[in-house]
Amino acid sequence: MSDCTFCDIVSGEGPAEVVFEDELTLAFMDIVPYTDGHTLVIPKRHSADIFELEQPEADAVWRTTIRLAHAIRDALSPAGLTVRQANGRVADQHIMHFHIHLIPRDQREKRGSLTQIGEFAERIRAALGRSDPRTPTS
């Protein structure tokens, strides 16, 4: 285990409900969702914040964020979607590994239980046309 929760998720040492993975990025469900379907997109390579992010990762993170935005809309039909990114503890960044929040919004906000998080992940994966990228297919 490293001293970074998100690096542990990237390496597979930390648990996460992963919905998307490519060469440079990973997307997974927020373990403390602000709303149902709250998803995070991160670069696999550790960058603490936007100031450490290099251009290939920045491009890849935005590509994945837009792809996930469409998948969340297809899967959950929220009335809106908040995309949020914080840099520094004073700006409410809690994990010091760059991440983008995708927060589905409705008139009526609610928080999913941990079991529901898996259901939302499954729906988002289905919208992406993918199975769990972390489940071995054998």
Instruction: Give the residue numbers annotated as catalytic, written as ranges.
Output: 99
Of 26 and 71, nearer to Zn ion (C-beta) is 26
Closest among 136, 133, 116 to 125, alpha carbons compared: 133
Which of 45, 46, 67, 101 contacts Zn ion by CB under 5 A? Answer: 46
Q: Is 45 in the site for Zn ion (CB under 5 A)?
A: no
Q: Is 86 in the site for Zn ion (CB under 5 A)?
A: no
**Window contacting Zn ion (CB under 5 A); options: 41-49, 63-71, 106-114, 119-127:** 41-49
Starting at the edge strand found earlier in the chain, the sheet holding 25-29 runs 18-21, 25-29, 39-43, 100-105, 80-84
**Window contacting Zn ion (CB under 5 A); options: 21-29, 71-79, 94-102, 119-127:** 94-102
Q: Is 99 in the site for Zn ion (CB under 5 A)?
A: no
Which of 7, 75, 100, 124 contacts Zn ion by CB under 5 A? Answer: 7
Of 7 and 71, nearer to Zn ion (C-beta) is 7
Closest among 48, 104, 32, 33 to 74, alpha carbons compared: 104
Which of 38, 44, 97, 125 contacts Zn ion by CB under 5 A? Answer: 97
Minimum CB separation from Zn ion for residue 136, in Å? 24
Residues at the site binding Zn ion, with contacts judged by CB under 5 A: 4, 6-7, 46, 97
